[in-house]
Amino acid sequence: MPLRFKNNTMLKEIKDWILSQQDVCDQIIANASKEYWEANKHKDNFHYDLKKCHEESYELVGGRDLCYDRINTAFTYSLWYHPRRINTFLSFFIDKLIELSGQKIEIFDLGAGTGAVQWALLLVSFALKKFNLPPPRLRIINIDTSPFMLYFNRDYLWQHFLKQYHFATDEVQIEYSVNSWNNENDLESSNTFIASSYLFDSSDNRDKIKQDFIDIVKRYNPSTLLLLTSLNKKQYIDELIPDFNKVGYIEEKKSNNSLLFNKPLKHINTFRKELKTKYNDINPLNNASRWNDPSHYGIIFTKNQQEISLTNSKKIDKIDLFTPPITVRTDVRLNEKQINASQYTTSPSVIIGPAGCGKSIVISEKVVNTVNQHNYDPNIKILITTFNKSLIGQLSKWLSEMLDDTRHRKSDENFFFEGSNLANIRLLHFLEFDSWRVLL
């Protein structure tokens, strides 16, 4: 049952304690980002990629999509958007989150990014423990199309969060799933939340995203949905209301220009200034980060309690909005469209899709299928080019995993088959490719 307070005193004390954590969270984000920078700053193309990530981050400001395929996207994002996402989620849903005290909840965060929803949930949980109230037992599944975002969450932000806030193993279970729309799963549960922040801000086919989301809700029958979007995109989630009303959900709209956190982000901004001294050509580093987000709107959809079945239902193991988690490339299972696109063909083919839909995975699969078709012919020549320098390394790693290591050797980003003195597979950044053509 939801937690009810006899008076508002304890509720206010819980919120005040969460407010007192602004500086702590600021420091955690800065420390995690510094650790990442120290570990990666000497890598090839780090400066170039960092500059591109900062430039492309402002695509979001203009209502366009950010490219999430760069290795430094999450690093850049955490120093600018991560605090805002924590703040907006807490500001709109803190009362709902406090009500979860003592409950066992599964929360699927669609478009999890660097895990701001996870932070908000665990801040509330820790606050409840501070006031001797039972925290919820949480299973949080972070789902995103970008492995770089999820890995930064898991390996840096979350590790530093745990150094400050400690949880027992039975209090929280965190999972990560790198995905892209929209495989089927027939499992059902009545104790599941779905959180989605800015899912409908995409510049891609919003009608398709809307219908996919409606299908997901009908399929999994979650008890609660927590949706956030930009204020100028509110109509896209408002359009969901009639469809969800028909299947037993009631809505509670949230629109508030006064967010909870409002102190300066002194630790993050100090680090941004340090980065600016080292990368003077990255002009966006001149701008100060902040908790405040200028445009936000939310809805809580709650399943009508009279319609929740009391019979035992199957636990949801995963929501396959997307393909399964990427641990190593050979573990990835392609969906039907990706399989068809990756087949060997004798004629040219064009693969088109938005960021995160799996184009790079399909290309790596198509290269391997072509090599296998030609039985590692030493005369075959394959050239792979991309505008994204960091993707060269990722594709090279994937190909190393997938090709028969007894039938090739690798030098830099080139692959040589048995009996060949020339590179059979060559990976080049597009500008390098252009210079290479001139030299030829």
Statement to judge: residues 83 and 164 lie in one domain? yes
Q: How confident is the model at residue 310 (pLDDT cuts 50, 70, 90)?
A: very low
Q: Look at residue 1 and tell me if it is in a domain.
A: no
Distance (Å) of CA 314 to CA 107, 143, 192, 304, 317: 15, 20, 11, 20, 9
Distance CA 289, CA 253 (A): 28
Q: Which residue has the higher pLDDT, 411 or 274?
A: 274
- Burial label for 286, CB within 10 Å (0-12, 13-18, 19+), is exposed
Q: Which residue has the higher pLDDT, 94 or 236?
A: 94
* pLDDT number for residue 329: 56
DSSP state letters, 331-367: GPPP-HHHHHHTS--SS-------TTSSHHHHHHHHH
* pLDDT number for residue 189: 44
Give the domain range for residue 412.
Answer: 329-439
* pLDDT number for residue 133: 93
Statement to judge: residues 344 and 300 lie in one domain? no
- On the question of pLDDT at 123 being above 90, the answer is yes
Total domain count for the chain?
Answer: 2
Lowest mean pLDDT among 127-136, 326-335, 348-357: 326-335
**Percent of the chain surpassing pLDDT 90:** 46
Average the pLDDT over 366-394 and give the result.
87
Average the pLDDT over 130-152 and give the result.
89
The number of residues in the chain equals 440
pLDDT per residue as tens digits for the range 206-222: 677 778 788 888 878 89
Q: Look at residue 3 and tell me if it is in a domain.
A: no
Q: Look at residue 4 and tell me if it is in a domain.
A: no
* Residue where one domain finishes, among candidates 307, 341, 368: 307
- On the question of pLDDT at 331 being above 70, the answer is no
Statement to judge: residues 256 and 333 lie in one domain? no
Q: Look at residue 201 and tell me if it is in a domain.
A: yes
* Residue where one domain finishes, among candidates 242, 276, 307: 307
Statement to judge: residues 264 and 403 lie in one domain? no
Q: Look at residue 77 and tell me if it is in a domain.
A: yes
Statement to judge: residues 57 and 176 lie in one domain? yes
Statement to judge: residues 359 and 425 lie in one domain? yes
Q: How confident is the model at residue 65 (pLDDT cuts 50, 70, 90)?
A: low
Statement to judge: residues 162 and 209 lie in one domain? yes
Q: Of the candidates 264, 262, 225, which has an alpha carbon nearest to the alpha carbon of residue 245?
A: 225
Strand 137-144 to 382-386 pairing: unpaired
Tell me the pLDDT of the chain averaged across its residues: 82
CATH code assigned at 60: 3.40.50.150
* Count of other CB atoms within 10 angstroms of residue 421: 6
Q: Which strand ranges, in their side-by-side order, compose the sheet holding 414-417?
A: 382-386, 425-429, 414-417, 408-411
Statement to judge: residues 169 and 296 lie in one domain? yes
Statement to judge: residues 390 and 297 lie in one domain? no
- On the question of pLDDT at 306 being above 70, the answer is no
Q: Look at residue 38 and tell me if it is in a domain.
A: yes
Statement to judge: residues 266 and 390 lie in one domain? no
Q: Which structure tokens are listed for 219?
A: 């399929």
* pLDDT number for residue 300: 94
pLDDT per residue as tens digits for the range 152-193: 999 999 999 999 998 887 889 998 877 643 434 333 444 789
Q: Look at residue 324 and tell me if it is in a domain.
A: no
Q: Look at residue 390 and tell me if it is in a domain.
A: yes
* Residue where one domain finishes, among candidates 307, 342, 360: 307
Average the pLDDT over 37-65 and give the result.
81
* pLDDT number for residue 22: 97
Q: How confident is the model at residue 356 (pLDDT cuts 50, 70, 90)?
A: low
Statement to judge: residues 339 and 297 lie in one domain? no
| β-strand partners of 408 | 417
Statement to judge: residues 340 and 261 lie in one domain? no
